Amino acid sequence: MPHVITQSCCSDGSCVYACPVNCIHPSPDEPGFATAEMLYIDPDACVDCGACVSACPVGAIAADTKLTDKQLPFIELNAAFYPKREGKLPPTSKLAPVIAAPKVATRSGGPLTVAIVGSGPAAMYAADELLTQRGVRVNVFEKLPTPYGLVRAGVAPDHQSTKRVTRLFDTIAKQAGFRFFLNVEVGKHLSHADLLEHHHAVLYAVGAPNDRRLDIEGMGLPGTGTATEMVAWINGHPEFTDLPVDLSHERVVIVGNGNVAFDVARVLTTDPDALARTDISDHALAALRSSRVSEVVVAARRGPAQSAFTLPELIGLTANCDVVLSEADHALVIADLAAETDPLTRNKLEILAKLGDAAAPLRRPRIRLAYRLTPQRVLGDDRVTGLEFGVTGTDEVHTLDAGLVLTSIGYRGKAIADLPFDDDAAVVPNDGGRVRGASGAYVAGWIKRGPTGFIGTNKSCAAQTVHRLVDDYNAGVLSAPVHKHAALDKLVHSRQPAVVDAAGWHAIDAAEIARGGEDRPRDKFTSVADMLAVAATAPKPTVRQRVLAGLRG
C-alpha cells in the first residue's frame, strides 16, 4: 500500500527528510527541486510507514487505498516520475541528506537579533531556521494586522488543504524569541536604518507584490484588471475589497494560462454553495451568487505544449470543472502530442486531448482553454466589451466578447527603499540571499530569486539565506544593535500606536473562526478598522509578564 502525493503538494521538502527509505524526490539537494511541479513518492520503494503523512504541512499525502476518485490519477503520476528498473530493487539504503542548521557562535553583547520584513512563507521559514539556535531573537514586521502573506490572501479559497501550512507557521510563531509587529509598514513607520539600529541584520521576504502589466490599447478601461487582484478580492484582502468586479456579462477572458489563471477561472465557474463552505470573502460570495458568467476563456499566446499551468493543477481543474477546447485547439493538442517527447508535457497533452468540445451545449458554467492567441487591444469605449487577438504566427484576427478581461502574465518585484534593485530582473541583487553592497541586509523568497516555485520552495531558499546571515554574524561582519532590546518597543509604538502583537492576531484569528461557525473554516474580516477593533480586545500582559519578558530580553 504505497503512499501518494496529491495536488495540494507545497514542495517544502519536509516529507523528504521524514522518509526512512529515501523514496521521495526530487529532494532539496537535487538540481530539479526548485523547478519541480510537485514531489513524488516511488511506489516500489515506499514501505508504508506513514512518516511522510505526519510531516506534510498541507495534508497532501495519503495511502493509495484512501484516495478519492478525483485523486486516483496521482497514483500513476507519482509512479511515472521513476524510471522502470526491470526487476532491480530501488535505492533504499540511506536517508536523504539533511541540510544542517546554521550554528550561531556565542558572542558578547547579547544574542543574534534579526528583523524579518514580511510574514509570508519565506519569512516564516527563515524565522524557523534562525530559531533552531537557542537565544536568537526574531522580530517579524508586517504591514497588515494579519500575518502569512499570500497563504492568506493568494491561495484560492477552494484550496483549503494548501492553507493548512499556516498551522506550521502558528507553531513557528510560538517559539521563544519570536515576536510579531503587525500593522507596521517598513518604509512608512520604520526605515531600513531604524531596523539596523535595533538588529544585527534585516532580512526582507516581501515577495513580488506587483503584476506584470499587459501593454496594449484599452488596458485600464473599467472591466480590466489582473488575476492576482481578483484572487486578493476573492480572499478578502483589505486593499482589494473595493475592487470593481462586474460579473453581469456571460464571458470572462483571462490572458495567460498559469496556475493563478486556473484559480480565478475555477472560482468563477464553481457552484457558490460549494464555495460557501470555504473562507471566501462575503462580498465575493455575494457577487458570485448573482453572477451571469457562463464561460471563462483562458487564453495563451503559445501552443498547448508550452502551457504554463502545472500538471497537478490541470488534473484538479478537469476533475472539478467543465473544461473544453475548440475544434481548432483540439487539433493543436493532437499535433503537439504527436511531436512531444518530454514525459511531463506529454501527460498534460494527453489530458487536454480528452477534453470536451466547446461546440457542445452549455450544461453549467465552463472553462475554455484557448491557444495561439496574442492580445492586441481591449475593445470598448466606457468599459470593456471584448478583446481582439491576433492568431499567433498569422495575420488572422480573432475577437471575443467579454465583460471582464483579466491578465495573468506573472509577478514583478518592487524596489525596497535603501537597497539596490535590478529593474530588469525585478529582484534585489544578491549572492545566495546576501544583498550586494548593503551590509546587514538579506533577502529570501521571490524578492531574492524572482517569482518561481511554490509555497514550500521558500523553505530551502530561506535556509540558504539564513546560512549566509549566520556566517556573517559568526565572522563578526554584522554590527551589533546600538540600542537595548526594550528600545524597539518604544520606537515602534511612537511611530505606529496601532501596532498589533501576537495576542492581537490571536484575537482576530479566534474571532474569524468563531464567525465561520460549523460550516466554514473562518469568516474573514476584510477591513483594517475591524481587525484593529478586535485586536484591541486581546488581554494585555500583566506586570509580572512584562517583567519576565524584560529579564529574558
Q: Are residues 293 and 367 in the same domain?
A: yes
| Structure confidence at residue 87 (pLDDT) | 58
Task: Please tell me the predicted confidence (pLDDT) of residue 195.
Answer: 98
Judge if 396 and 258 occupy the same domain. yes
Whether 436 and 462 share a structural domain = yes
Q: Is residue 107 situated within a structural domain? A: no
Compute the mean pLDDT over every residue in the chain, rounded to the nearest whole number. 93
Give Cβ neighbours of residue 142 (< 8 Å, ≥ 6 apart): 118, 119, 149, 180, 181, 182, 183, 184
Residue 438's domain is classified under what CATH number?
Answer: 3.40.50.720
- Is 87 domain-assigned? no
Identify which has the larger pLDDT, 287 or 553.
287
- Asked if the model's pLDDT at residue 365 lies above 80, the reply is yes
Domain total in the chain: 4
* pLDDT on residue 7: 84
Is 459 a member of any domain?
yes
Tell me which residue of 427, 10, 482 sits closest to 204, measured CA to CA: 427
Q: Is the pLDDT of residue 541 over 80?
A: no
Give the mean model confidence (pLDDT) for residues 104-118. Answer: 91
Indicate if 354 and 474 belong to the same structural domain: no
SS3 content of the chain, % helix, strand, coil (to 5): 35, 15, 50
Q: Domain of 399: which CATH number? A: 3.50.50.60
Which has the closest alpha carbon to 402: 426, 423, 382, 383?
A: 383
Range of the structural domain that residue 529 is part of: 503-553
253 closest CA partner among 304, 219, 287: 219
Same domain, 193 and 246: no
Any idea which residue has 500500500 for its cell?
1
What would the mean pLDDT of 466-482 be, rounded to a whole number? 95
Give the end of a domain, one of 410, 438, 453.
Answer: 410
Domain check: are 278 and 376 in the same one? yes
Secondary structure string (H, E, C) spanning 469-498: HHHHHHCCCCCCCCCCHHHHHHHHHHHCCC
CA separation for the pair 250, 235 (Å, rounded): 23
pLDDT at 28: 87
- Give the pLDDT band of residue 255 (cuts 50, 70, 90): very high
314 within domain boundaries: yes
Does 105 fall in a domain? no
Sign of the four-CA dihedral 179, 181, 186, 191: negative
Whether 91 is in a domain gets the answer no
Reduced to 3 states, what is the DSSP secondary structure of residue 207?
Answer: coil
Q: Kindly report the CATH number assigned to the domain that includes residue 27.
A: 3.30.70.20
CA terminus-to-terminus distance, the chain: 51
C-alpha cell at 262: 486556473
Same domain, 395 and 526: no
Residue type, 10: C
Is 384 in contact with 218 (CB distance < 8 Å)? yes
* Same domain as 30, residue 140: no
Tell whether the model's pLDDT for residue 261 goes beyond 60.
Answer: yes
The string of DSSP letters for 91-124 reads --SSPPPPPPPPPPPP-TTS--EEEEE--SHHHH
Min mean pLDDT across 325-339, 454-468, 535-549 is at 535-549
Q: Are 408 and 264 in contact (CB under 8 A)?
A: yes
Residue 34 has pLDDT above 90, yes or no: no
The reply to whether 162 and 228 lie within a common domain is no
Look at 95 and 415; give whichever has higher pLDDT: 415
Asked which of 80, 102, 123 is the last residue of a domain, the reply is 80
Same domain, 263 and 381: yes
- Is 104 contained in some domain? no
Domain contains 101: no
Average pLDDT over residues 14-34: 88
**Residue percentage of the chain with pLDDT more than 90:** 83
> Cell 475592487 maps to which residue?
243
| Of 368-372, 402-406, 494-498, 544-548, minimum mean pLDDT range | 544-548
Number of helices (H) and strands (E) in the chain: give both, helices first: 21, 23
Rounded to the nearest 5 degrees, what angle is found at the Cα of 431, between the Cα atoms of 213 and 258?
A: 30
pLDDT-derived band at 100 (thresholds 50, 70, 90) equals: confident
What's the rounded Cα separation, in Å, for the pair 294 and 257?
19
Q: What percent of the chain has pLDDT over 70?
A: 95
Looking at 358, 375, 410, which one is the last position of a domain? Answer: 410
Q: Is-contact 416 442, C-beta < 8 A?
A: no
State pTM to two decimals: 0.93
pLDDT(279) > 90 = yes
Residues 265 and 290 in one domain: yes
CB 45 within 8 A of CB 23: yes
- Same domain? 251 vs 236: yes
